[in-house]
A and B are shown apart, each in its own frame.
Chain A
Amino acid sequence: MTEATPPQMPLWAHVHLTHAALQRIADEAGVDLLHIKGPATSTTLRAGVHHSSDVDVLVRPAHLDRFTAELETRGWGLYSGFEEGSPFGHAANYTHPSWAFADVHRQLPGPRATAEAVFDRLWAERTSTDIAHHPCPVPSLPGQVLVQTLHAARSHGVEAPDAWRLCSDEVRDQTRALADELQATTALAAAIGELDQHRDAPDHALWSYWSRPGGDRLDEWSARLLAASGPGERARLMLRALRVNRTHLELRLGRRATAADMLREQFARTRLAFTSLGKRMKRGSR
């Protein structure tokens, strides 16, 4: 009646179990974290059964180093770091032979408030939900709506803002207030079709790029530069724009990248930037 390491366990079930495993680590290490997305989202905010492929947790920034050190002590390995993952640099991805992939977030893409302020606000109104029969702290219902809707905002129109669509007017109002407080109004607007009302916002171009289909690398980086909060952030972005992402390159190659691979990719990346710029200039000169 029992079978060890069943090969037929579906990924979604593995994800549930992994949420509980990460919570156990957080409890033992004294780390505050919030479970977000997937099974951490109320079923009332889902259009149907949703199967996640990885586990998402948002960690209190001050506890991040302790948590990631604890993960590594317990056999988790870093798959892609914060700077190598998404262009927002918001999450690092960890793997473990026994568990599903874990996305460890230090920030949510969308709010312009500091990571500390975002976590404090979401943590202050947290609730708890059982995942794999273990209590896991999760954002309040408006917090869950905001997280799912901000995720939809950067999907280039692929993911629908189901949580926003399914929640009550009262929760929508609370979500708007939360977004205002966390300076995520533009990102929220991008997901719910109200972006045009925020044309003067500094992050309008950024969310226009992320929420609409299409766009190229130059669009992305132009939008990110426009949204950057100062010269220091702009300089860091410029450097990052042309830097080769070793993890992505190795995934594409299916092997470890050599120095020659990195050099070739660097040239290709620079050439692509100029090609995009050339196309843009031709469009602009018509």
Chain B
Amino acid sequence: MSAQYRIGDDIAWVEGETGGLDRQVVWLSHLDTGTQYELAGTGWLIWVLIAAGFTEPEALLAELERIRVESGAGDEASAIDLPVLTGFLHDLERDGVLVRVE
């Protein structure tokens, strides 16, 4: 069984949509340090999918691919492969916004 990721307990986050923005973006902040991050586009999509319960990289990748195809962006948007996705998740884990659950 591969690692799973969840959003850290000390992370607050708000999507652009909350403020009426027509932009795929989420802003995150460490509650203890105040360090802030912005995830946009695919980064935003990955974040909301993790929040929705897609915690395993393989399941997350499958859902990203399904969305890419179903949205009709299949030919225009480049697919993400597992190493790229895993690297991104590692970055978020290193920054302390995601927690890895074995």
Contact = CB atoms under 8 A, between A and B. Distances in A.
A132 B46 CA distance: 17
Interface stretch (A53-61, A93-101, A270-278): A93-101
Nearest to B51: A133
A156 interface: no
A4 B51 CA distance: 20
A12 B33 CA distance: 19
Given A2-B95, A17-B27, A9 B38 contact: yes
B12 A132 contact: yes
A51 B20 CA distance: 10
A94 to B, nearest CB: 13
Contacts of A3: 37-38
Question: Which residue of B21, B27, B31, B33 has the most chain A CB atoms within 10 A of its CB atom?
Answer: B31
A73 interface: no
Contact of A1 (B31, B32, B34, B41): B41
A24 B32 contact: yes
B62 interface: no
B36 A134 contact: no
Contacts of A133: 7, 12-14, 51
B19 A10 contact: yes
A184 B91 CA distance: 53
A5 interface: yes
B41 to A, nearest CB: 7
A6 B36 contact: yes
A29 interface: no
Contacts, number: 80
B17 to A, nearest CB: 10
Contacts of A4: 35-37
A154 interface: no
B76 to A, nearest CB: 18
Nearest to A7: B38
A13 interface: yes
A5 B29 CA distance: 9
A258 interface: no
Contact of B36 (A5, A51, A96): A5
A21 B18 contact: no
Interface string B8-26: 0010111010111100000
Interface string A7-49: 0111011101100110010000000000000000000000001
Nearest to B7: A133
B12 A9 contact: no
B19 A17 contact: no
B38 A21 contact: no
Contacts of A12: 19
B29 A2 contact: no
Interface string B71-97: 000000000000000001001100100
A6 B27 contact: yes
Contacts of B29: 17, 20-21, 98, 132
A21 B36 contact: no
Interface of B: 7, 10, 12-14, 16, 18-21, 27, 29, 31-43, 46, 51, 88, 91-92, 95
Given A2-B37, A5-B35, A17-B27, 8 more contacts: A2-B39, A8-B38, A17-B14, A20-B31, A24-B31, A96-B34, A98-B29, A99-B34
Ranked 3 nearest A-B pairs via Cβ = A98-B34, A1-B43, A20-B12
